[in-house]
Amino acid sequence: MRGVFSRGSAKGLAVLAAGVLVLSACSGSGGKEAEEDTGGEGPRLEIAMVTHSAPGDTFWDIVQKGAQAAADKDNVEFLYSADPDGGKQAQLVQAAIDKKVDGIIVTLAKPDAMKDVLARAAAANIPVVSINSGQEESAGLGALAHFGQDESIAGEAAGTELGEIGAKKALCVIHEQGNVGLEARCDGARKTFDGDLENLFVQGSNMPDVKSSITAKLQSDKGIDGILTLGAPFAATAVDSVKEVGSEARIGTFDLNKDLIALLKAGDIEFAVDQQPYLQGYEAVEALWLLKRNGNVLGGGRPVLTGPAIVTKDNAAELEEFANRGTR
């Protein structure tokens, strides 16, 4: 039973998120007419995004493309930096504060590490919005809005899908220990999955090690018939592990990229939970532009949801064009 997490419901949620995009894009057009409506062009804004991304992560490439698209439209100078270490991420935020940017976009994968520096951003009167991770902590740390999916709800959707594909004993592969968003996904999946779901921690910055860990687990426990990964590159690695071992474990994942669409179409991946990273980057820049230019605040004090949407072999082809150009 799919219940509230059916593929149809997920598509509906994605439509709602897209509606937010359309509305804000109409309000936040960077053209001459919009500039006249908000009192003239004014100085060019400078907006910094600081994330917990590791190098080479295709998910964050998509986030950046969305943010850059909004920045280009709104005549914003967009600055991007990232570090998976919470302390170093905080240092990058401090550098943005020192630069006196007009707004900061952050991820809150490790919120405790960001508490003090976000307080300093508030003291400097620099508005902050969060994306992707840390929805529960966002408002408490002073962010004006959060753009992303509810990771617990997304996890519950994934757990339901695991059951639908027939899994009874599954792994939830966590590629970054201490990341509150990833842990919430596995916890959510455990709520709706009727079988046994075990967390497997892997070293996300080293894909050969990730493959080795998954392969070893499959070899040691032949009863594993399902794998849930929390990012597209890890799903592709899980496919390699399954083939190497000769396992019949079926794979679901979070997030999309071009390669994952191909794996979905081939049937190597059963489903993907898409949180629409392009939309997260786009809306975050747009929100800060609207705030500075017209005093608008998106979300009404609640998170602006960009997912989850469930993608399977049945609808993967519909997104292939966008994935191939790096925006889904």
Total count of residues recorded for the chain: 328
- For the chain, what is the domain count? 2
Report how far residue 217's alpha carbon sits from residue 241's, in angstroms, rounded to the nearest whole number.
Answer: 10
What's 165's domain CATH number? 3.40.50.2300
Task: Identify which of 84, 74, 140, 82 has the alpha carbon closest to the alpha carbon of residue 109.
Answer: 84
Return the pLDDT at 205: 78
Q: Give me the half-sphere count of Cα atoms (radius 13 Å) on the Cβ side of residue 126.
A: 25
Task: Report helix, strand or coil for 163.
Answer: helix
Give dist(CA 274, CA 262) in Å, integer.
Answer: 15
| Domain identity same for 131 and 201 | no
* 66, 138: one domain: yes
Instruction: Say if residue 108 is in the same domain as residue 179.
Output: no
Please report the pLDDT score of residue 42 as a whole number: 65
Q: Which two structure tokens, joined as six digits, stand for 255?
A: 């997030």
Task: Judge whether residue 212 has pLDDT over 50.
Answer: yes
Q: What is the pLDDT of residues 28-38, one digit of tens each?
A: 334 444 444 44
Residues 190 and 184: their CA atoms lie apart, in Å, by 10
Q: Is 119 part of a structural domain of the chain?
A: yes
pLDDT digits (tens, 9 = 90+) for 216-274: 999 999 999 999 999 999 999 999 999 999 999 999 999 999 999 999 999 999 999 99
> pLDDT value at position 56?
74
130 and 209 together in one domain: no
Percent of the chain clearing pLDDT 70 (strictly above): 87
**What is the domain range of residue 165?**
151-274
Q: Give pLDDT, residue 25.
A: 39
CB 221 within 8 A of CB 163: no
User: Do 211 and 137 reside in the same domain of the chain?
Assistant: no
What secondary structure, in 3-state letters, does 77-136 show? EEEEEECCCHHHHHHHHHHHHHCCCCEEEECCCCHHHHHHHHHHHHHCCCCEEEECCCHH
Same domain, 293 and 214: no
Mean pLDDT within 282-286: 98
pLDDT in tens, 145-175: 999 999 999 999 999 999 999 999 999 999 9
pLDDT value of residue 158: 98
196 lies in some domain: yes
Confidence of residue 41 (pLDDT cuts 50, 70, 90): low
For residues 163 and 259, membership in a common domain is answered with yes
Q: Does 326 fall in a domain?
A: no
Indicate if the pLDDT at residue 14 is higher than 80: no
Q: What digits encode the pLDDT tens for the residues 294-313?
A: 999 999 989 999 999 999 99
Looking at 274, 291, 315, the residue that finishes a domain is 274
**Mean of the pLDDT values across residues 56-64?**
90
Please provide the average confidence, as pLDDT, over all residues in the chain: 89
Over range 34-44, report the average pLDDT: 53
Q: Is 150 helix (H, G, I), strand (E, B) or coil?
A: coil
pLDDT at position 22 is 38
Please, which pLDDT band fits residue 54 given cuts at 50, 70 and 90?
A: confident
Average pLDDT over residues 121-148: 97
Residue closest to 80 by CA, chosen among 104, 48, 108: 48
Please write the tens of the pLDDT for every residue from 66-93: 999 999 999 999 999 999 999 999 999 9
| Residue 27 confidence (pLDDT) | 36
Query: What is the pLDDT at residue 103?
Result: 98
The answer as to whether 92 is a domain residue is yes
Say if residue 52 is in the same domain as residue 114: yes
Task: Order the strands of the 45-51 sheet from edge to edge.
Answer: 76-82, 45-51, 103-106, 128-131, 146-148, 304-305
Q: What is the pLDDT of residues 314-325, one digit of tens each?
A: 999 999 999 999
The first and second tokens of residue 85, run together, are 């270490």
